[in-house]
Structure 1
């Protein structure tokens, strides 16, 4: 679980858009840039080089949740 206060201040380093926490995948999701940033040992890794691209289906699912 990620701290909600931390989540409220973090933004995507690429698009500067807000992030969504995906607990099952242990990732922070940015719909605007279609990237998923991993959370390792409770620490968000906010590097574009470490992020994975969202599939079009994933992007739609997360877009509808926000």
Structure 2
């Protein structure tokens, strides 16, 4: 689990704004575009190429 103060420093590289990233298991999820970024060995991989896109119709819960 990543520290909350560390999560507050991170931003989604795909969004124009600085949305919050939430931890969901071994992934970080952008609260705006819903892209999911993997966390491998405790290291967030915030690369757009490695992100999982939300399914159509599920972009905003």
TM-score, normalised with respect to structure 1:
0.76
Matched, 1:42 2:46: no
> Would you tell me which structure has more helix in proportion to its own residues?
1
* 1:1-20 map, 5 Å: 1-15=1-15, 16-20=18-22
SS for the counterpart of 1:33 is: coil
TM-score, normalised with respect to structure 2:
0.81
8 Å CA contact 2:33, 2:60 repeated in 1: no
Gap regions ≥5 residues in structure 1: 61-66
Q: CA RMSD in A?
A: 1.5
How far the C-alpha of 1:17 sits from its partner, in A, is: 1.3
Query: Which runs of 4 or more aligned residues in structure 1 lie more than 6 Å from their structure 2 counterparts after TM superposition?
Result: none
Gap regions ≥5 residues in structure 2: none
- State the number of aligned residues: 57
